[in-house]
Homo-oligomer: A and B are copies of this chain.
């Protein structure tokens, strides 16, 4: 940095690119040890919009042309950039792509999303990491509070975010859980060696961004038909359900699920059947666009959370 000149602002762009392969949610990463999110920076003269700049960078780094893209959040804390003498403000995006186009060159790689957040996957019951590592570590943090009031506040936050003592587990609070773990010193950002809590690290604050993306995506499933961005044009209801389960991290009652999306007008049968599913051949469906005209908030509806009340 030139002395006497103001610190320049650098506008960074990062993308959380999600796909679902089979039953697994995937996250596109670049680099190694630690991995990171595809990222670049705005060309203040060349890029007409932030989103275009993001698409350009992702194409260059991974060879993928993004479809559905949505802005997530902007991060601008003073100490978060890798370089001195500049202020890095990053606009993070969530992107959804269909499975398949595994990038080859460029070192970009699909990774299991839950390898970064093992405590978020309840599909096979409570994650082992939760009871064996996360909860004990959090309890230690609560007990470690000097004053009573601080301890009580910590206890309440743990209870709410991690569903202890009868509080429900809210699948959408991914970011809040991550931040709580971070605040408790149980997770180290910026690729430092793991704390007591398991999960792969990521570069800079990328893991935090990924956590926010997962939470947002889980929430959006509920009231916008975003799942279909991750699926081919036609699919079976079983496949649709497995994608929703992969993202939400919980199992769904399949009879109710099919009633929900069918009667709800979200999908319609194409008339074909797919016999490759194992048991009885499944009817093939497609997304029913007209639902957008009929219902204000068409989504798939996750369990345990009525509208309000």
Q: Which residues of A contact B (CB under 8 A)?
A: 6-11, 42, 44-45, 47-50, 71, 73-78, 86-87, 89, 91, 156, 159-160, 167-168, 170, 172-173, 222-223, 260, 263-264, 292-301, 304-309
> Cα distance A300–B309 when bound, in Å?
6
Residues of chain B contacted by A297 (CB below 8 angstroms): 170, 305, 308
> Cα distance A263–B306 when bound, in Å?
14
CB atoms of B89 and A167 under 8 A apart:
no
CB atoms of A293 and B160 under 8 A apart:
yes
Specify which of B6, B77, B260 is in contact with A49 (CB 8 Å cutoff). Answer: B77
CB atoms of B74 and A167 under 8 A apart:
no
> Cα distance A45–B301 when bound, in Å?
45
> Cα distance A167–B264 when bound, in Å?
15
Residues of chain B contacted by A168 (CB below 8 angstroms): 295-296
Chain A interface helix/strand/loop/mixed: loop
Residues of chain B contacted by A50 (CB below 8 angstroms): 74-77, 89
* Copies of this chain, count: 2
Residues of chain B contacted by A156 (CB below 8 angstroms): 293
> Cα distance A56–B44 when bound, in Å?
26
> Cα distance A159–B10 when bound, in Å?
41
- Interface CB pairs A-B, < 8 A, 22: A6-B44, A8-B44, A9-B9, A11-B11, A42-B87, A44-B87, A48-B77, A49-B76, A50-B76, A71-B74, A74-B74, A76-B91, A89-B89, A156-B293, A159-B293, A160-B292, A260-B309, A264-B309, A295-B309, A297-B308, A298-B308, A307-B307
Residues of chain B contacted by A89 (CB below 8 angstroms): 11, 42, 50, 89, 91
> Cα distance A223–B292 when bound, in Å?
22
CB distance from A272 to the nearest CB of B (A): 26
| A305-B296 contact in complex given A74-B74, A89-B11, C-beta closer than 8 Å | yes
Residues of chain B contacted by A260 (CB below 8 angstroms): 308-309
> Cα distance A8–B11 when bound, in Å?
10
> Cα distance A297–B172 when bound, in Å?
10
> Cα distance A74–B14 when bound, in Å?
13
CB atoms of B170 and A9 under 8 A apart:
no
Q: Name the CB-closest residue of B to A309.
A: B264
Residues of chain B contacted by A308 (CB below 8 angstroms): 222-223, 260, 264, 297-301
Q: Name the CB-closest residue of B to A77.
A: B49
Residues of chain B contacted by A301 (CB below 8 angstroms): 307-309
Residues of chain B contacted by A91 (CB below 8 angstroms): 74, 76, 89
> Cα distance A154–B298 when bound, in Å?
20
20 further A-B pairs in the complex, CB-CB below 8 A; given A45-B87, A49-B76, A74-B91: A7-B44, A8-B9, A8-B44, A9-B44, A11-B11, A47-B78, A48-B77, A49-B78, A50-B75, A50-B77, A71-B73, A76-B91, A160-B293, A170-B297, A222-B307, A223-B308, A260-B308, A296-B304, A297-B305, A307-B307
> Cα distance A50–B223 when bound, in Å?
30
CB distance from A56 to the nearest CB of B (A): 14
